[in-house]
Every structure is written in C-alpha cells, then in structure tokens.
Amino acid sequence: MGRPRLHATAEERAVAARKYRQDYYERNKKTISVKMAAKYKAQRAGRKKSGPVKAARLSGHSPQPEGKVAEQETFMSDSKSQFPEHKISPPDSTVHRIDLQQRIQDIRTAVVQTTAPHPEDYFEHLYYSLTKNAHDYQLRLSIISDALKLLEAHSLQARTLEAELLQGNEVGNLLSQGQELTQKLRDMTRAAEELWCFIVYDADTAKLIQQHSRGELRFQQPTMDK
C-alpha cells in the first residue's frame, strides 16, 4: 500500500515545497551567510593583490579553510559590518560598477559550474537521476533536496546583489543583468520544486515520466533555457 497523499492540488504541493525551502534556509541561514561573506572577502583580497587589470577578470572560488569559520561567525554577528570592506559608492563610480559587474559574472560562473551551461540540460540530467532510482525513495529525495539547497544558495547571492544594486540606485544594463540573473534562478528553483513535489507525494515516478514524455514539466518550457 502506497503512502497517503498529503496534498491534493498542485497549489498545495507548491506551497509545501516553498515551505521546505524556507525552513531549510531558516535552519542554515547563518552558515550560508558565513560562507558568502568569507568567499566575497577572499575574492576582494585576491583582486586587490592582482591589480586593476586582473581585478576585472573572472575570479576563482577557493574554499574557506575550516579554521576561519569561527572568525567569520564573529565577523557576521554584527549585521552593520557584514561587509566592512565594501561600501556603496556613487552610481557614477567606475571602480564600484566594475566590482558589481564582476560579482554578477562570478554568480553566473558558479551557477554554470555547479549545474550546466543550459538549465534544461541540468534538469534533464536531474530527471534521469530521479527516474533511474525509481525504487529508492530516500535516494531520490536526497538528490532533489541537494539540488534545491544548491539553487537556494545561488539565489540568495543573486537576491542580495540585486538588493544592493537597488540600494545604490543603479539603473540601466547593470540592474537589468542583476534582475535577469535573479529571475533565472527563481525559475530554476521553481522547476526543482516541481520535481520535489513528484518525489515526495507520488509513490513512484510513473506520473513524472508521463508528464516528461508530454513535455509538460516546468523545465521543458521554452522560457527556461533563456
């Protein structure tokens, strides 16, 4: 006998998936914030050492040594000094705009490196992994949960940057790029939420396979791969 259906409608399932993401973020937001702050501080330090020419190039994403985590927790405890080295410059500041452009590019690169150059390719691979393990519920749940955590971490970075662009009264192409990045990650997260609903609320992958064959899944829509 299969598990009883917890939510009857697609809207209820979407709400449940969104609550899962929110609960995950609330449980882990301190760790996420510490990692983001450590990565950003390391990137800025690297660009300062490399000079103004190299600063405009794509920076790497080196992991933060574990020994520094305690220091970063203390650093993050004061929200007013979350990014002490970064101050919002006037909108006409060339250096500031280059820095913002670089951060947008860094997020884009991180998304591509951890997913795929095209979102549809990433979700096709994810779909294959889920259906390949159709008889292992815990493994399927782990696969889709890890995908949601990854996308949420990228989304948090993008939303933070977009808010900073708005706060700094940035307009035109730079703000447009930030908003497009945020929207792309929002669409990817919703597509992952849909897959999460299939895994959690269906006893097997039959319905998931059926909708995929008809091209009805969210990640199969034309707007996803823009």
Q: Is residue 146 part of a domain?
A: yes
- Share of the chain residues as helix, strand and coil, in percent rounded to the nearest 5: 75, 0, 25
In the predicted structure, residue 84 carries a pLDDT above the cut 50? no
Split into its structural domains, the chain has a count of: 1
Name which of 13, 17, 12, 16 is nearest 152 in CA terms.
17
Cα 106 to Cα 58, 99, 112, 154, 218: the distances in Å are: 7, 10, 10, 11, 26
Tokens of 87: 């101050």
Q: Is residue 169 part of a domain?
A: yes
Mean pLDDT of 115-136: 92
Q: Is residue 80 part of a domain?
A: no
Q: Is residue 57 part of a domain?
A: no
What is the per-residue pLDDT across 215-224, written as a single tens digit (0 to 9) for each? 999 999 887 7
Alpha-carbon gap, residue 45 to 38, rounded angstroms = 11
Q: Is residue 85 part of a domain?
A: no
- The pLDDT confidence band at residue 25, using thresholds 50, 70 and 90, is low
Say if CB 17 and CB 196 are below 8 A apart: yes
Cα 46 to Cα 43, 54, 210: the distances in Å are: 5, 9, 49
Q: Is residue 129 part of a domain?
A: yes
For residue 155, give its domain range. Answer: 10-27+90-225
In the predicted structure, residue 3 carries a pLDDT above the cut 50? yes
Say if CB 174 and CB 165 are below 8 A apart: yes
In the predicted structure, residue 65 carries a pLDDT above the cut 90? no
What count of other Cβ atoms lies within 10 Å of the Cβ of residue 46? 14
pTM for this model (two decimals): 0.59
Place of tokens 């497009």: 180
Q: Is residue 38 part of a domain?
A: no
Instruction: Please provide the size of the chain in residues.
Output: 226
- The pLDDT confidence band at residue 61, using thresholds 50, 70 and 90, is very low
Q: Is residue 213 part of a domain?
A: yes
- The pLDDT confidence band at residue 151, using thresholds 50, 70 and 90, is very high
Residue predicted with more confidence, 74 or 111: 111
Residue 130 has a pLDDT of 93
Alpha-carbon gap, residue 44 to 23, rounded angstroms = 31
